Chains A and B, each alone.
Chain A
Amino acid sequence: MQMNENKEFEPLIVAFCCNWCSYAGADLSGTNRLNYPTNVKIIRVPCSCRVNPMFILRAFQRGADGVILCGCHPGDCHYTSGNYFTRRRMTLLFSMLDFLGIERDRTRVEWVSAAEGAKFAATMNEFTEAVKKLGPNRRLEDLRCRKQ
């Protein structure tokens, strides 16, 4: 979390992107000169299935205000079925975070293919706006990591 020049809240968004589809999608949105906010920090993973719940929680611990996970569309996984497992895992994890009272709009899963540069940019714009509305992450932050 940080403040911009106008003292407005600028959320830190962590985006886990699978190497084969979503990371390439992000790349495409760049080469197409589409804008998406600089709040988004991309972490490339070999497959969306590589992301375990600890990654999501650790991102929040280290100051993320929103975490989004992007992978290949169901059926298109480079490893055949990785994203199907991701889908179940993240559904349960997000439901648990919701159960603990963590704002549900801070987490999202979105399928973005290598051809969907526009979708990637649009998703990031939309997600960043949604998190900005929520304000800084207070319920799942580690106070020791808060920037003074």
Chain B
Amino acid sequence: MQEAIINKAKQLLADGTVDRVIGWKRGEFAYDITPAVFGSAEEIDADFVYDDFTSANVSKYLVKETKKEGKVLVFLKPCDTYSLNQLTKEHRVDREKVYVVGIPGGPKLDIEKIKAKGISGILSVKNENYTLKIETIYGEETMPFSEAILDKCASCKSKKHVVYDELIGEDGEVLESNRFDMVEQLENMTAEERYNFWREQLSKCIRCNACRNVCPACTCEKCVFDNPESGVENKAASDSFEENMFHIIRAFHVAGRCTDCGECSRVCPQNIPLHLLNRKFIKDINSLYGEYQAGEDTTSRAPLTDYTFDDCEASIVHERGVE
């Protein structure tokens, strides 16, 4: 697959269709891959990589890249195409300046899950028939591929590319996923259990803002939490209230716009399951206002900028679930 992608990139650069390519750049180790912009065939030959660790969603970089001159080529996995559609819909990305090549997606690997098995000193990771052969300074280790996949891939919602100019490989289908299972499990707990669960999770937060900054839906020029004029600017949570506030507002601001790409949880250095907050909103929207998938198209109205006369009242919260 990597070869086909590299050839396509070089071809589109050579025939002048595009001026730059957004992709993934090889790192020091087997897994530390950095999103990067490539300007020439030589750069692509030297460093371009597409493998089991290229999980980063690069669609957000298009906000910055499409403000520059020329056209940019981007390789998008199915989940990433939803993000691009959403960005196009919100006029954050100039679609005219993007050439999208859809590529097959995951499941991608989570290096943290490999390390959690006690495997350290990792020199290389090879996938042989869905068994990972991991070469380390302490000898060779193996583990099943299925045990090392990213959480966001384990609950994949769609293998379908919702926007592309060209495809490499076959397009897939929207999947029946189990992505709301954990949300439901939490809903069925008592309020106190839920409170304790989230206190334990959110108290780990170090307010690095990685969840916010990586999010393709978070594209405000100035975030309310960075703006001294807002009255709520804060750099660190001085109280448990501020931990709650940041995460409630972050999730609320992307409610109805979050495509559930899962990047927030993937990048969290403290492993907080932030996607559960987003999924709670998605689940509520689906059940109260009708099925809605953000990024599926570029024309429909988002649930929070829309209404019907007979929407349910807020008191519905009192009528369902566990107190």
Do A and B touch (CB < 8 Å)?
yes
Note all chain B residues with C-beta closer than 8 A to A85: 304-305, 307
Note all chain B residues with C-beta closer than 8 A to A96: 248, 251-252, 277, 280-281
Is A135 positioned at the interface, with any CB of B under 8 Å from its CB? Answer: no
Note all chain A residues with C-beta closer than 8 A to B1: none
Is B154 positioned at the interface, with any CB of A under 8 Å from its CB? Answer: no
Contact check, A91 vs B314: say whether CB atoms are below 8 A apart: yes
Contact check, B191 vs A98: say whether CB atoms are below 8 A apart: yes
Contact for A94 among B244, B255, B311, B317, CB less than 8 A: B317
Note all chain A residues with C-beta closer than 8 A to B307: 81, 84-85, 87-88
Surface stretch bound by B, among A27-35, A37-45, A137-145: A137-145
Report the bound CA distance from A110 to B192 in whole Å.
26
Report the bound CA distance from A144 to B234 in whole Å.
15
Number of interface residues of A (CB under 8 A): 39
Surface stretch bound by A, among B60-68, B142-150, B193-201: B193-201
Is A122 positioned at the interface, with any CB of B under 8 Å from its CB? Answer: no
CB distance from B64 to the nearest CB of A (A): 28
Surface stretch bound by B, among A9-17, A18-26, A54-62, A113-121: A54-62
Nearest-neighbor residue (CB-CB) of B252 within chain A = A53
Contact for B194 among A91, A101, A141, CB less than 8 A: A101
Note all chain A residues with C-beta closer than 8 A to B312: 91
Is B318 positioned at the interface, with any CB of A under 8 Å from its CB? Answer: yes
Note all chain B residues with C-beta closer than 8 A to A143: 239-241
Contact check, B311 vs A104: say whether CB atoms are below 8 A apart: no
Is B175 positioned at the interface, with any CB of A under 8 Å from its CB? Answer: no
Contact check, A144 vs B238: say whether CB atoms are below 8 A apart: yes
Task: Determine the main DSSP class of B at the interface with A.
Answer: helix
Note all chain A residues with C-beta closer than 8 A to B323: 104
Contact for B241 among A88, A91, A104, A140, CB less than 8 A: A140
Contact check, A93 vs B313: say whether CB atoms are below 8 A apart: no
Note all chain A residues with C-beta closer than 8 A to B249: 53-54, 57
Is B316 positioned at the interface, with any CB of A under 8 Å from its CB? Answer: yes
Contact for B280 among A90, A91, A99, CB less than 8 A: A99
Is B288 positioned at the interface, with any CB of A under 8 Å from its CB? Answer: yes
Q: Interface digits, B281-323 against A, CB 8 Å rule (1 contact, 0 not)?
A: 1001100110000000000000111111101111111100101
Nearest-neighbor residue (CB-CB) of A75 within chain B = B309
Contact for A104 among B187, B193, B280, B317, CB less than 8 A: B317
Is B242 positioned at the interface, with any CB of A under 8 Å from its CB? Answer: yes
CB distance from A91 to the nearest CB of B (A): 4
The 3 closest A-B pairs by CB, nearest first: A101-B195, A84-B307, A101-B194
Q: 17 additional contacts, CB 8 Å, given A91-B284, A92-B255, A109-B315? A: A53-B248, A61-B241, A84-B309, A92-B252, A92-B284, A93-B248, A96-B280, A97-B248, A98-B321, A99-B183, A101-B194, A101-B195, A102-B191, A104-B317, A105-B318, A143-B240, A144-B239
